Amino acid sequence: MAAKQIPEKYTPGYLDDLDGRLAVAQVMRERYRAFTDDLGGADRLSYAKRSLVERALWLEFWLAQQEEQLAKGQEFDVGKWTQAANSLQGILTKLGLDRQAKDVPNLSEFIKSRADK
């Protein structure tokens, strides 16, 4: 059965477990695609980097939830927020903050590859 929410605690593979019909799943999967595209494409990333991307997205979501609670005057643990923000910063630094170009064939290679099919 597909999950309806992002888990409260990080669980590997949570993105795949989300019900794709839900807005939160669509948003998170789009963010994953955008993130991995910035790194040159998911197909170029190692398992470790894809895992770090998934963790970064979970932390980003969790931080936003905490900030929303603070804005509403609800319980907010600044220590946990700071620890999570520092963890996210470390992951982002490890992955790199600059966009990476995707490998794309030149036009003649592309046309030849299409003709060979």
pLDDT in tens, the chain (117 residues): 677 889 999 999 999 999 999 999 999 999 999 999 999 999 999 999 999 999 999 999 999 999 999 999 999 999 999 999 999 999 999 998 777 766 666 777 777 777 876
Is residue 11 a contact partner of residue 62, using CB atoms and an 8 Å limit? no
Q: At what angle do helices 78-95 and 47-71 cross, to 10 degrees?
A: 150
What's the pLDDT at 63?
Answer: 97
Torsions phi, psi for 85 (to 5 deg): -65, -40
Residue type, 16: D
Residue type, 14: Y
- The CA distance from 57 to 33, in Å, is 11
Sequence spans of domains, the chain: 14-115
What's the pLDDT at 117?
Answer: 66
What's the pLDDT at 102?
Answer: 67
End-to-end distance of the chain based on CA atoms, in angstroms? 39
